[in-house]
A and B are shown apart, each in its own frame.
Chain A
Amino acid sequence: GDSVTQMEGPVTLSEEAFLTINCTYTATGYPSLFWYVQYPGEGLQLLLKATKADDKGSNKGFEATYRKETTSFHLEKGSVQVSDSAVYFCALSDRGGSNYKLTFGKGTLLTVNP
């Protein structure tokens, strides 16, 4: 079956540091890939997505590129802020472009210190 593996953390960084959260996946079809973020006391929110190979999703300074050859979708940000402290989830959907039946990773807790 489909699966997503992401670095579990927790990850602790200082403000303005570079962030990478690794995510690799296994899928039988041609999945769409997502990063969701959960800020304290809130629901999960879509951060960015990519629906085909070599697509780059970007939002709020975060980026991730769909790498089919390495089955990866690593999340990066050049300079993190305290407000980026949250749990980040990598996810895939095996129904192209849809939200249907998402498969999630375990989540990575990020703490950014001032």
Chain B
Amino acid sequence: EAGVTQFPSHSVIEKGQTVTLRCDPISGHDNLYWYRRVMGKEIKFLLHFVKESKQDESGMPNNRFLAERTGGTYSTLKVQPAELEDSGVYFCASSQEVIGELFFGEGSRLTVL
């Protein structure tokens, strides 16, 4: 069974550009989460989807970040326009139930120059 996959693994962009990160959860997992780890800091919750609906987006830092989950399958996280402080590793995770093992992807590293 395939795990949680994220693409790209590393993206380098200039300030002001747009980047879209993609997450493919484990098939059948209704719950999908995005987290972010900024250099030297904690991994922080960004948002939680249940199927295609945003259950909680209280961790999204500002309106430059837009997350979608088309048809309740894969999810995208768009940053537009990117700022220097957006650099970090973006993790996606999925689970079948909210109570149950959480599976993480390897993360997408974003570097904004």
* A residues neighboring B (CB under 8 Å): 4, 36, 41-46, 89, 91, 95, 97-107
Contacts and interface: CB of A to CB of B under 8 A. Distances in A.
SS of A interface (majority): loop
Nearest to B103: A43
Contacts of B59: 101
Contacts of B31: 99
10 contacts: A42-B106, A43-B104, A44-B91, A44-B104, A46-B102, A99-B95, A99-B102, A103-B42, A104-B43, A104-B44
A21 B100 CA distance: 25
A98 B100 CA distance: 7
A103 B100 CA distance: 16
Contact of B48 (A41, A45, A97, A101): A101
B56 interface: yes
B45 interface: yes
The number of chain B residues touching the other chain, given as a range, is 20 to 34
A99 B45 contact: no
Contacts of A43: 3-4, 91, 93, 103-107
B48 A100 contact: yes
B99 A106 contact: no
Contacts of B40: 106
Nearest to A41: B106
Given A104-B35, A104-B44, 19 more contacts: A36-B104, A42-B106, A43-B103, A43-B105, A43-B106, A43-B107, A98-B99, A99-B99, A99-B102, A101-B45, A101-B58, A101-B59, A102-B35, A102-B45, A103-B42, A104-B43, A106-B41, A106-B42, A107-B42
